[in-house]
Structure 1
Amino acid sequence: MTTTATSRGTVRATREARTGRARASTVTVVLTAISVVLGAVFILPAVWVFIGSFRPSADIVNTMSPLSWALLVPSNVTFENYISLFVDNGFGLALLNSAVVCLASVLLGLVVSVMAAYPLSVYQFRGRNVIFAVIVISFMVPFEAIAIPLAQQFTDWGLGNTLIGLILPGIGNGLAIFNLRQYFLAIPTSYREAAMLDGASEPRILFTVYTRMSGPALTNSALLIFLGQWTAYLWPLLIVSDNNLQVAPVALASTFGEHGADFGRNFAGAVLLSLVPAISMFILQRFFGRLSLASGEK
C-alpha cells in the first residue's frame, strides 16, 4: 500500500513538473515574440532612414503612400546623396568641425570635472553640500532656457564665430561632475591617506590614484560630454553664423529649404551622424566593461 501511494505521488510530481516546464516554455515563447515585435517597431524607422539614404529623394516620397514593402526595398540604389552631401553642402567640413569641438570638449571637460569632483568628495568644508546642490540643479535646468542670453553674453565677449565659443559650454558638465564625485566617494579614504604618508601631493593623488581607479566613471563622463556636443544644434545655431565653422547638425538642417526638402541627402547625413556615436558607444562600452572587471579584481 505504501509503495502504491509513493508511486502515485511520484507520478503526480512528474506531471506537475512537466506542466510547470510547459507553462514556462509558453511564457518564454510569448515574451520572446513580444520582444521581437517591439524590437521591429523600434528598428524599422532606422532601417527606413538607412535604406532611404541610398534612394533618390523622389522615390522616398513616392513609396510612402500607399504603404508597402517598396518602402524598405529600394528599386534604384545610388550613392548620389552621400556625394552631393559632401560636395554641395560642405558636410565634410562640418563633420570635421564637430569632431574638433567634441574632442576638445571631452579633454577639457574631463579635466574640469575631475578637478571639481575631487574636492567635493574628499574634503570636508563649510558649504560643500550647497555647492554640490548647485551643480546638481545646474544640469536639471534645460539649456534652452539660458541659451539666448548666454549667446548674447558670448557675443559681447567676442566669442561669436569661434571654436572657443562652441567648446566652452560643453566643458562645465554638471552631470559628469556628479558622476565622478559619486565614484570618488566609493574609493576608500585609506588610499589617499597612504599616498599622503608617502609624500604625494594632492594633484599627484588625484591624477595617479583617483583617476587611475575611476576608468568606468571617466568613460561614462566622456560619453556624456561627447554626446552632448555631437548632437548640439541650438547653441551652434546661435553662436556661429560663419559656414566654415558650422557643425554637422546645423549643416544637415540646410537640406531642408523654404520651398522643399532633399530627403535623400538628409537621410544620408542622419546616417553619418548616427554612426559616429553608435560606434563610439560600442567601443567604449566594451572598454567600460573591461575597466569594471579590472576594478572589481582590485
Structure 2
Amino acid sequence: MSVEVNTEAAPFETLAPSSVKQAPNGRRNTMSRAILTAVAVVVGAIFILPAIWILIGSFRPNIDVLTTMSPLSWQIIIPTRVTFENYVGLIVDNGFGLALLNSLVVCLASVALGLLISAMAAYALTVYRFRGREVVFAIIVISFMVPFEAIAIPLSQLFTEWGLGNTLIGLILPGLGNGLAIFNLRQYFQGIPNSYREAAMLDGASEPRILLSIFGRMSGPALTNSALLIFLGQWTAYLWPLLLVTDKNLQLAPVALASTFGEHAASYGQNFAGAVLLSLVPAVTMFVLQRFFGRLSIASGEK
C-alpha cells in the first residue's frame, strides 16, 4: 500500500507591505488635520479681529477710528498715526484712573471678606449635621439663580434708607454673599475625608484652625475659582454702582467708561482705551492664577 505525499509547496500569498496599505490613510489623516487647522485659524481670526481692532483703535486719534473702516483696507488693523491721547485723556481728564482705583478697592475687599464668609458657610454646611441643612443649601443654590437685576432697585432703596448710598461699604456688601462661591466650596469640601477633621480635633485644634489649616490648604483650586467669581462679579458690575453712587469720586470703572459716550458726541478712542484697561486686569489675574487650576484634588480614599 503506497501513500502519496504531496511535496508541492503551498502557494504563498503575496502580501502588500503595511506601509503601502497605510499610505492612503496617512494622506487622508494629514489632509483632515490640515483642513481642521485651517478652519480653526479662520474661526480664531473671526473672534480675535474685533479685539485687535479695539486695541489698535485705542491708539488712534478719535477721528481715525471710524474713517479707516470705509473702504476696508489694511489700515483698519495697521494704524497710520499712533497716539496716547486717548489713555491720557481718559485717565487724567475724565477721572478714569480714580474709578479704576475704586474698582480695585471694592474688588479686593469683596474677595477677602466674601471668600472668608463663603468658606465658613461651606464648612458649616459640610461638617455639621443640623435640622434644615439641606433646605438652607437649597436656598443658597436658588439665590445665585435669581438675576441680580430683579432685586437691584428695591435693594438700592433699602441701602439708601440705611445711609449706605455713596459709600464704598454699600458697593462692597452685595458682593460678599456669593451663593455660587458657597456652592463651589461646599462641593469641594465634601471630598475631604472627615477623618482629617476628627484627627485634628483629637489633637486639640479648634474649628477655625481646622478650616484654615486643613480645608483651606487642601482647597487651593476651589478657593481660587471662588475668588475669581467674586472678583469678576464686582469688576464688571454696572447696574449696582449706577443705582447707588452719584458722587463722581466714588464711581466704578464700568460706569466711568460709559460716560465717554455723551448725548451728542462719543469718544470712541477713549472708549476703546477704557475697554482695553478693563479687560487687562482680569486677563492678567487669570494668567497669574492659572497654575492653580490644574492642581489635583486630594485622594478620596482613607486608610
**What range is the shorter-chain TM-score in?**
over 0.9
Secondary structure of 2:165's aligned partner: coil
Secondary structure of 2:46's aligned partner: helix
Alignment equivalent of 2:253, drawn from 219, 235, 248: 248
TM-score by length of 2: 0.93
Larger Rg: 2
Q: Quick one: distance in 2 between partners of 1:4 and 1:176?
A: 71
Q: Equivalent residues in 2 for 1:151-230 (5 A)?
A: 151-230=156-235
Change (3 A) 1:2 1:270: farther
Asked if 1:15 is matched to 2:20, the reply is yes
Alignment equivalent of 1:264, drawn from 249, 266, 269: 269
Residue-pair matches, total: 292
TM-score by length of 1: 0.94
Asked if 1:4 is matched to 2:9, the reply is no
Q: Quick one: distance in 2 between partners of 1:169 and 1:146?
A: 11
Secondary structure of 1:212's aligned partner: helix
Change (3 A) 1:61 1:187: same
Q: CA offset at residue 125 of structure 1? A: 1.7
Q: Quick one: distance in 2 between partners of 1:130 and 1:19?
A: 62
Q: CA offset at residue 270 of structure 1? A: 0.6
| Larger mean Cα displacement after TM superposition, 173-182 or 195-204 | 195-204
Asked if 1:82 is matched to 2:87, the reply is yes
Aligned position for 2:44: 39
Q: Which ranges of structure 2 fall in alignment gaps of 5 or more residues?
A: 1-8
Alignment equivalent of 2:242, drawn from 237, 242, 258: 237
Change (3 A) 1:99 1:3: farther
| Structure showing the higher helix proportion among its residues | 1
Aligned position for 2:289: 284
Q: CA offset at residue 70 of structure 1? A: 1.5
Paired-residue identity, % = 71
Change (3 A) 1:37 1:16: same
Change (3 A) 1:203 1:22: same
Q: Equivalent residues in 2 for 1:60-75 (5 A)?
A: 60-75=65-80
- Which amino acid is 1:209 matched to? I
Change (3 A) 1:102 1:3: farther
**Counterpart contact for 2:184–2:222, Cα < 8 Å:** yes
Change (3 A) 1:3 1:67: farther
Q: Quick one: distance in 2 between partners of 1:83 and 1:203?
A: 47
Aligned position for 2:99: 94
Q: Quick one: distance in 2 between partners of 1:232 and 1:241?
A: 15
Secondary structure of 1:48's aligned partner: helix
Give the RMSD, CA atoms, in angstroms. Answer: 1.6
Aligned position for 2:6: none
- Which amino acid is 2:100 matched to? L
